[in-house]
């Protein structure tokens, strides 16, 4: 049944021209670094999302600080999944919103944008919306203004990355710790418990970066530009078959089949 429903949903997307047919992302993880983790924590984020030109044109780079974005260089060779072909490409730091899906570090995946984590632990379309609590936390992280977060690369950053990942998983209904100071910060910022788990609907510019075909790889978070969001909202309604009720009705952009590489597979 899952394969059948996915095929029907994808057929609706194929019928609608995508704005960016060639978007792709390569995720890099520092937890495999021989020198130890410098920004990733165990099975969770931070991850480095290396964007190709089409994805780069969608990202709101101005929403990220110098601590959460950059250009891949020679000093990054210790990151798990890095390869020399990434040199000179832009990246942003991100967190996953599906605890039970996986990705291969260093493997390019087709990428799409929607308001939902597609499938994940619930195993069904239309997926789980990015919540308002998640969107606020990620937007503050991206700006470099999330209080209590250690933005200095090293064990301190890795530790706070673990705390933020747990908060995001909790707010997405995946798992994670409810007794988390970052959840409390989000609770206050969004105006109470009634709003914490509400669909973000693009608040703070935060959307789901759907990685690979829906359900095949771990979805991440991204902040997109207002101009791109406006263009996506103008796409005909059939694309919401995948984005789902409560999401923005954003067109899925350039769904590509994941090319799985040999090597260590990371479960998140």
| Per-residue pLDDT tens digits for 205-218 | 999 999 987 777 89
| Confidence label for 251 from pLDDT (cuts 50, 70 and 90) | very low
How far apart CA 224 and CA 239 sit, in angstroms, is 18
* Mean pLDDT over the full length of the chain: 77
Relative orientation angle of helices 155-171 and 132-143, to the nearest 10 degrees: 160
Give per-residue pLDDT as tens, 157-196: 999 999 999 999 999 988 766 668 999 999 999 999 989 9
Look at residue 71 and tell me whether its pLDDT is greater than 90. Answer: yes
Q: How many domains does the chain have?
A: 1
**Has residue 54 been placed in a domain?**
yes
Give per-residue pLDDT as tens, 1-11: 222 222 223 32
**pTM tops 0.85:** no
Determine the average pLDDT of the residues in 113-142: 85
Question: Which burial class, exposed, middle or buried, applies to 138 when counting CB atoms under 10 A from its CB (0-12, 13-18, 19+)?
Answer: buried
Give the side-chain half-sphere CA count within 13 A for 113.
32
Q: Residues 88, 57, 82, CA angle at the centre, nearest 5°?
A: 35
Predicted local distance difference test score (pLDDT) of residue 129: 92
Predicted local distance difference test score (pLDDT) of residue 35: 62
For residue 91, give its domain range: 2-258
Predicted local distance difference test score (pLDDT) of residue 78: 64
Give per-residue pLDDT as tens, 91-104: 999 999 998 888 99
Question: Which burial class, exposed, middle or buried, applies to 206 when counting CB atoms under 10 A from its CB (0-12, 13-18, 19+)?
Answer: buried
**Has residue 268 been placed in a domain?**
no
**Has residue 266 been placed in a domain?**
no
How far apart CA 210 and CA 116 sit, in angstroms, is 8
Look at residue 199 and tell me whether its pLDDT is greater than 90. Answer: yes
Give per-residue pLDDT as tens, 101-125: 889 999 999 999 989 998 766 555 6
Distances (CA, A) of 116 to 71, 119, 122, 161, 225: 28, 9, 12, 22, 17
**Has residue 100 been placed in a domain?**
yes
**Has residue 138 been placed in a domain?**
yes
**Has residue 264 been placed in a domain?**
no
How far apart CA 143 and CA 155 sit, in angstroms, is 21
**Has residue 48 been placed in a domain?**
yes
Look at residue 69 and tell me whether its pLDDT is greater than 90. Answer: yes
Look at residue 254 and tell me whether its pLDDT is greater than 50. Answer: no
What the block records as the tokens of 140 is: 């503050």
**Has residue 237 been placed in a domain?**
yes
How far apart CA 1 and CA 4 sit, in angstroms, is 5
């Amino acid at each position: 049944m899952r394969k059948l429903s996915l095929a029907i949903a994808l057929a609706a997307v194929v019928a609608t021209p995508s704005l960016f047919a060639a978007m792709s992302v390569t995720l890099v993880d520092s937890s495999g670094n021989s020198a130890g983790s410098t920004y990733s924590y165990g099975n969770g984020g931070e991850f480095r999302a290396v964007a190709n030109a089409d994805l780069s044109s969608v990202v709101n780079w101005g929403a990220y600080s110098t601590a959460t974005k950059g250009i891949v260089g020679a000093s990054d060779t210790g990151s798990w999944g890095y390869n020399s072909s990434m040199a000179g490409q832009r990246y942003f730091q991100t967190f996953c919103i599906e605890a039970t899906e996986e990705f291969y570090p260093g493997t390019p995946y087709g990428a799409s944008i929607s308001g939902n984590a597609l499938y994940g632990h619930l195993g069904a379309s239309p997926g789980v919306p990015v919540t308002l609590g998640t969107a606020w936390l990620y937007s503050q992280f991206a700006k470099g203004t999330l209080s209590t977060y250690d933005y200095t690369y090293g064990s301190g950053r890795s530790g706070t990355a673990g705390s933020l990942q747990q908060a995001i998983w909790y707010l997405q209904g995946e798992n994670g710790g409810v007794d988390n100071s970052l959840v409390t910060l989000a609770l206050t910022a969004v105006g109470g418990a009634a709003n914490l788990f509400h669909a973000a609907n693009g608040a703070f510019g935060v959307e789901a970066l759907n990685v690979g075909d829906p359900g095949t790889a771990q979805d991440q978070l991204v902040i997109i530009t207002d101009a791109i969001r406006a263009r996506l909202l103008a796409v005909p309604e059939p694309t919401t078959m995948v984005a789902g009720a409560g999401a923005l009705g954003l067109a899925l952009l350039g769904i590509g089949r994941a090319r799985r590489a040999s090597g260590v597979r990371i479960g998140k």
